[in-house]
């Protein structure tokens, strides 16, 4: 039996003494103002035992990690039809690139880049009566945590600086791949990015991806195939244009966000969330990636 607490303690000791912590995202004040000298990890194993270290109870903006959760909700609602509007190939591009979208006639490469997430948001806006409320309720249910909230200030800053997201949404609309008003879809998207969680909440929220689509309370949200497909997308597309590097170094499906969070998982074994707001050049948490590389190397636990 692996003693995860000792593993996390060792990682914390080693990673915490690094000199290079990366740079926090600077495009909105709420992220730019965060102290980059933070580092937390929370791991939950398949038996629902919890292990944590460092700043694992401090809330941060989950940003693009939310794309996996909207995808899960949309796939649960519309099933395979979703893949007519968004592809499942890695883009090899940064999250907000637009050129491929034009070359490929408004079909985004995958649901974990911004254009793809906007299509997924459009599906939810079409299907749900009160999209923002119902999406938040979905997250609160799968995490079993009613305290999770949107951060309205972050959502507003996202809106005020979201020029490329406006461009992507308008491009999608011009290709007929957005059914609702651009502003309505973007308002939903900016809110999903603003969700705040700590590492413990994030690891618990993603438990359903290690448990064949069943959350911690054994309620089913995805079938086995849907959970498998989302995990495959996290592995191939979850880290912007560094997905190959993450698979190479860490060897787990996962998703990062520019708030410095990373969630990664091994089906039937564990789900782990890290937070360190300093990012590397590709926009992934620098120390989070290093910590996860050490976790899978030290425990010999990865999908490979």
Which of 193, 208, 247, 279 is in the footprint of ligand GLU by CB under 6 A? 193
User: In angstroms, what is the minimal distance from the CB of 102 to ligand GLU?
Assistant: 18
If the CB atoms of residues 19 and 281 are measured against ligand GLU, the closer one turns out to be 281
For ligand GLU, which is the closer residue by CB, 285 or 302?
Answer: 285
Instruction: Decide: is 64 part of the binding site for ligand GLU (CB under 6 A).
Output: yes
Which of 30, 45, 158, 293 binds ligand GLU (CB under 6 A)? It is 158
138 close to 128: Cβ distance less than 8 angstroms: no
Contacts of 87 (CB under 8 A, 6+ apart): 104, 107, 108, 109, 110, 116
At residue 219's C-alpha, the angle toward residues 213 and 225, to 5°, is 20
Query: What x-and-dash track marks residues 16-55 binding ligand GLU by CB under 6 A?
Result: ----------------------------------------
User: Which one, of 28, 23, 118, lies nearest residue 64 by Cα?
Assistant: 118
Residue 203: CB minimum distance to ligand GLU, A: 18
Min separation Cβ 304 and ligand GLU, Å: 26
Angle between the N-to-C axes of helices 4-16 and 286-299, in degrees from 0 to 180, rounded to the nearest 10: 140
Q: Does 201 bind ligand GLU (CB under 6 A)?
A: no
What whole-number distance in Å separates Cα of residue 231 and Cα of residue 229? 5
Give the binding-site size for ligand GLU (rule: CB under 6 A). 10
To ligand GLU, the closest distance from the beta carbon of 72 in angstroms equals 17
Residues noted as catalytic? 64, 67, 189, 240, 258
Q: Which helix (H) or strand (E) holds 91?
A: none
Nearer to ligand GLU, 5 or 96 (CB): 96
Alpha-helix runs per DSSP H in the chain: 4-16, 29-32, 66-78, 99-103, 114-127, 131-143, 152-161, 163-174, 182-194, 199-205, 207-210, 224-237, 243-249, 286-299
Annotate each residue in 113-142 with x if it binds ligand GLU (CB under 6 A) or - if it does not, as one string: -x----------------------------
Q: Which CB sits closer to ligand GLU, 6 or 160?
A: 160
CB of 191 to ligand GLU, least distance (A): 10
Residue 54, strand partner residues: 40
The one among 59, 70, 165, 205 contacting ligand GLU by CB under 6 A: 165
Q: Does residue 95 touch ligand GLU according to CB under 6 A?
A: yes
Q: In this chain, which of 10, 50, 96, 223 binds ligand GLU, going by CB under 6 A?
A: 96
| Minimum CB–partner distance for residue 167 and ligand GLU (Å) | 11
Per the CB < 8 A criterion, the answer to whether 272 and 203 are in contact is yes
Using CB under 6 A as the criterion, what x/- string covers residues 254-273 for binding ligand GLU?
---xx---------------
Give me the torsion for CA of 260, 263, 264, 270, rounded to 10°.
140
- C-beta separation of 70 from 207 below 8 A: no
Tokens 């050129």: give the residue: 99
Q: Exposure pattern of 79-104 as b/e (b: 16+ CB <10 Å)?
A: eeebeebbbbebbeeebbbeebbeee
Binding site for ligand GLU (CB under 6 A): 63-64, 95-96, 114, 158, 165, 193, 257-258
């Amino acid at each position: 039996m692996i003693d995860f607490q000792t593993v996390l303690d060792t990682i914390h000791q080693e990673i915490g003494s690094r000199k290079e912590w990366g740079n926090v995202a600077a495009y909105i004040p709420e992220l730019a103002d965060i102290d980059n000298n933070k580092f937390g990890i929370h791991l939950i194993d398949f038996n629902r035992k919890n292990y944590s270290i460092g700043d694992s109870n401090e809330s941060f903006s989950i940003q693009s990690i939310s794309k996996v959760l909207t995808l899960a909700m949309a796939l649960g609602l519309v099933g395979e039809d979703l893949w007519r509007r968004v592809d499942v190939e890695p883009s090899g591009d940064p999250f907000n690139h637009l050129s491929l979208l034009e070359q490929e006639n408004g079909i985004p490469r995958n649901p974990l880049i911004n254009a793809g997430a906007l299509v997924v948001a459009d599906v939810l806006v079409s299907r749900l009566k009160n999209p923002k409320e119902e999406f938040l309720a979905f997250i609160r249910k799968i995490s079993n945590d009613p305290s999770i909230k949107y951060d309205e200030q972050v959502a507003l800053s996202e809106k005020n600086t979201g020029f490329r997201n406006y461009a992507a949404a308008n491009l999608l609309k011009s290709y007929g791949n957005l059914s609702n008003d651009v502003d309505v879809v973007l308002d939903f998207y900016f809110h999903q990015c603003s969700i705040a969680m700590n590492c413990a909440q994030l690891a618990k929220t993603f438990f359903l991806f290690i448990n064949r689509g069943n959350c911690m309370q054994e309620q089913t949200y995805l079938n086995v195939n849907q959970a498998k497909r989302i995990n495959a997308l996290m592995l191939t597309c979850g880290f912007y244009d560094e997905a190959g590097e993450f698979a190479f170094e860490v060897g787990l499906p996962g998703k990062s966000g520019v708030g410095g969070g990373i969630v990664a998982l091994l089906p039937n074994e564990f789900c782990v969330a890290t937070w360190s707001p300093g990012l590397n050049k590709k926009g992934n948490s620098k120390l989070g990636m290093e910590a996860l590389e050490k976790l899978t190397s030290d425990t010999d636990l990865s999908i490979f």
